[in-house]
Structure 1
Amino acid sequence: MLATYPIAATEQNWISATLLGALRISLETLQEGNAPPEFDEALSEEYREDFLRGPKFKKAYDLFIAKCRPLTVDQRAQVLTALNEQNNFPGVFTSTTPCCSIKDAFPDVHSAANELFKHAFEKLSEWKTPGCEQTIRAKYHQLVDAHLSHGSCPFCGYEPLEAADPDLVDPDLDHYLAVSIYPFAGVNLRNLTVMGDKCNRSYKGAQDILLDEHSARVDCFDPYGAEQVKLSLEGTRILSGPGEGPAWVIHFDPDIKSRNWRRVFKLETRLRANVLERHYKKWIEHFVSYAQRHGFDITSTDGAIDAVARFKETCEFDSYPAIGRLKTCFFELVEAALNDPMTVDRMRNFLVESA
């Protein structure tokens, strides 16, 4: 994660809480050998009226209960465990914390749960929390947009997100834990993340963020936590050879914990192709123009060093965070080369030739 989401955006989570509470009551009642309550009776009184406005919720609830009735006590216990584990945030992001899916064990129950929470997800764009003028999704988007002041996707750091404007289309709201695998978390705001459409549709899709390429559990970033990845270009050779471009090396800190995230979103390849290769020549042009406007003589070593030191300070404010950070790293490498007796002449000549 190159940025994180504000936990305040998850506060209006009553759709998920109400449904999960109703399902827990019904499953526990079945476990006791009693008939489960009707849908209206299982709902908390505070939001009962909202869920009873149309027939779809009751129909989906009744189907879920019908699929759970024939199960044994042990089997229903597994369903209840799945419901709880799939909503164990943020514990679920630790590799040692279980998070089971019932997709293969009880496909009919899984399918019924999927339909129920899929319908609930649609209501995020329709229902309003009492006392709030905006829908739950609109309010969520407003809070996230204000927090992500740079306006880019936290998963890649450079894909733009639509602003929170009623005349604009909302950005994708991704199920961080894929709903096709973990449907009980399907409307939990703690499991939903505003995401760039490329990150969501072209890269993550329905991949299981909790598993690596060998289907082993791994530690996972909490989108609403505090931990963020730091980028560097340490080891990159800008002047790799005659007629050759830079030999890019991208470092991620923390390394091990970020590997699965990088794999899912193909981050190394995307940052190399879409940011570094696409922009570094423009960066040099901008630097040369900056040096000329501010009276630096980059034909001299001291002038080039002074110009890079000043220009580097402006890079972090350039565009989106991933681009700004990599641009800063690039000119840190230029600066290091200008201060190295072994490379100073070649780097200075490279900058002069770019003028």
Structure 2
Amino acid sequence: MLATYPIAATEQNWISVTLLNALRLALESLIQGNAAPDFVDAISEEYRDAFVKGPKFQTLYEKFVAKCGILTSQQCAQILDALLDQNNFPAVFIATTTCSSIKDALPEVHEAAKDLFKHAFDKLSDWKSPGSEHTIRATYHQLVDAHLSHGSCPFCGYEPIEADDPDLADPDLDHYLAVSRYPFAGVNLRNLTAMGVNCNRSYKGAQDILLNEHNQRVDCFDPYGNEQVALSLSGTTILSGAGEGPAWTLTFDPDVKSQNWRRIFRLETRLKSSVLEKHYKTWLKQCISYAQKNNIDIRNMDGALEAVGKFKTTCEFETFPTIARLKTSFFDLIEAALNDPVGGERMHNFLVKAA
């Protein structure tokens, strides 16, 4: 990931905690051969009023319990394991940690869980935490928006996310662990990430972030952790051949751990097509314009080096961090090529012609 989310945004997680505790109590009772507690008794007293205002939560809870009630103790234990596994944050992001699903083994229970947590997810936009003026989702958005000061999606780094404004639509709230496979994490704020529309709907969708293209478990990034990917154009050839544009190479650090994230979000293709190919000529024009406005003559090598070196320091002020990184790296390569005793003159001629 190119940025991370603030852990403070997950603090108002009481809808998830309350529901998970209620289901855990029900499953533990069934495993012991007893009847599951009534819905009201299963819900903690602190938040009981919110959950019993309407009949929907009780109906969905009773549907889930009814599906579990006809199963064996071993099957109920399997469901409980899935519930705990799917909410084992952040350990679940380590490949050696089990994250079980009952989608295939117990599809009716799986669907009942999906229905329950889908309804709970909708409540994030309706319910307020005690003492709060804003809904849980609005509070989450405020904290994320303040943290992501650059205003771009952490998964691609260049797609804008709507600002915190009552007149604007909230950004997509993606289930990092797909709810289609891991419904018990369906309303856990630790599993929800504000995401750009294209990243969410066109690329991530319902893909399983925990599995690679061979359906093997892999380590993945914790969106609320501290690890971020360093990105550069190291290995790129700016002058790849007569009449040809740059031969782009994107370098990611860490490389192996970032592979699945890059695959799911099609990051190399998107960055090459939508950022590099689309903008590098404009960047060159900006650099040349900068030289002209500052009376730097790029027709001589010293002037070209001065212009590129000084203009490069302005690249960090690009609005979106991924574009800033790529733009800076692009001019790092040009500067290195100008200083190359073998290819420097060729790069210099390229800049002069571009002017």
TM range (shorter): over 0.9
Q: Is 1:85 aligned with 2:80?
A: no
Q: State how 1:1-355 maps to structure 2 within 5 Å.
A: 1-355=1-355
CA distance in structure 2 between the partners assigned to 1:82 and 1:103 by the alignment:
10
CA distance in structure 2 between the partners assigned to 1:158 and 1:293 by the alignment:
28
Q: Which amino acid aligns with 1:333?
A: L
CA distance in structure 1 between the partners assigned to 2:30 and 2:158 by the alignment:
49
3-state SS, counterpart of residue 316 of structure 1: helix
CA distance in structure 2 between the partners assigned to 1:247 and 1:32 by the alignment:
64
CA distance in structure 2 between the partners assigned to 1:220 and 1:234 by the alignment:
24
CA distance in structure 2 between the partners assigned to 1:8 and 1:296 by the alignment:
48
Unaligned 5+ segments in structure 2 are none
CA distance in structure 2 between the partners assigned to 1:131 and 1:215 by the alignment:
45
Q: Which amino acid aligns with 1:186?
A: G
Post-superposition Cα deviations, 1:83-122, rounded to whole Å, max 9, x if no partner, equal: 0000000000000000000000000000000000000000
Q: TM-score, normalised by structure 1?
A: 0.99
Q: Which amino acid aligns with 1:195?
A: M
Deviation (angstroms), 1:183: 0.1
Unaligned 5+ segments in structure 1 are none
CA distance in structure 2 between the partners assigned to 1:90 and 1:133 by the alignment:
30
3-state SS, counterpart of residue 41 of structure 1: helix
CA distance in structure 2 between the partners assigned to 1:200 and 1:10 by the alignment:
20
3-state SS, counterpart of residue 119 of structure 1: helix
**Segment drifting more, 296-305 vs 60-69:** 296-305
CA distance in structure 2 between the partners assigned to 1:32 and 1:231 by the alignment:
53
Deviation (angstroms), 1:137: 0.2
Deviation (angstroms), 1:70: 1.0
3-state SS, counterpart of residue 194 of structure 1: strand
CA distance in structure 2 between the partners assigned to 1:5 and 1:144 by the alignment:
6
Post-superposition Cα deviations, 1:316-336, rounded to whole Å, max 9, x if no partner, equal: 211201101000000000000
Post-superposition Cα deviations, 1:165-191, rounded to whole Å, max 9, x if no partner, equal: 000001100000000000000000000
3-state SS, counterpart of residue 29 of structure 1: helix
3-state SS, counterpart of residue 131 of structure 2: coil
Q: TM-score, normalised by structure 2?
A: 0.99
Deviation (angstroms), 1:341: 1.1
Q: Which amino acid aligns with 1:183?
A: P
Deviation (angstroms), 1:64: 0.2
Deviation (angstroms), 1:228: 0.3
C-alpha RMSD of the superposition: 0.5
CA distance in structure 2 between the partners assigned to 1:140 and 1:301 by the alignment:
52
Q: Give the length in aligned residue pairs.
A: 355
Post-superposition Cα deviations, 1:23-73, rounded to whole Å, max 9, x if no partner, equal: 001111111111111101000000000001111100000000000011111
Deviation (angstroms), 1:348: 1.0
Q: Which amino acid aligns with 1:85?
A: D
CA distance in structure 2 between the partners assigned to 1:100 and 1:192 by the alignment:
19
Q: Which amino acid aligns with 1:39?
A: F
CA distance in structure 1 between the partners assigned to 2:341 and 2:32 by the alignment:
80
Deviation (angstroms), 1:346: 1.1
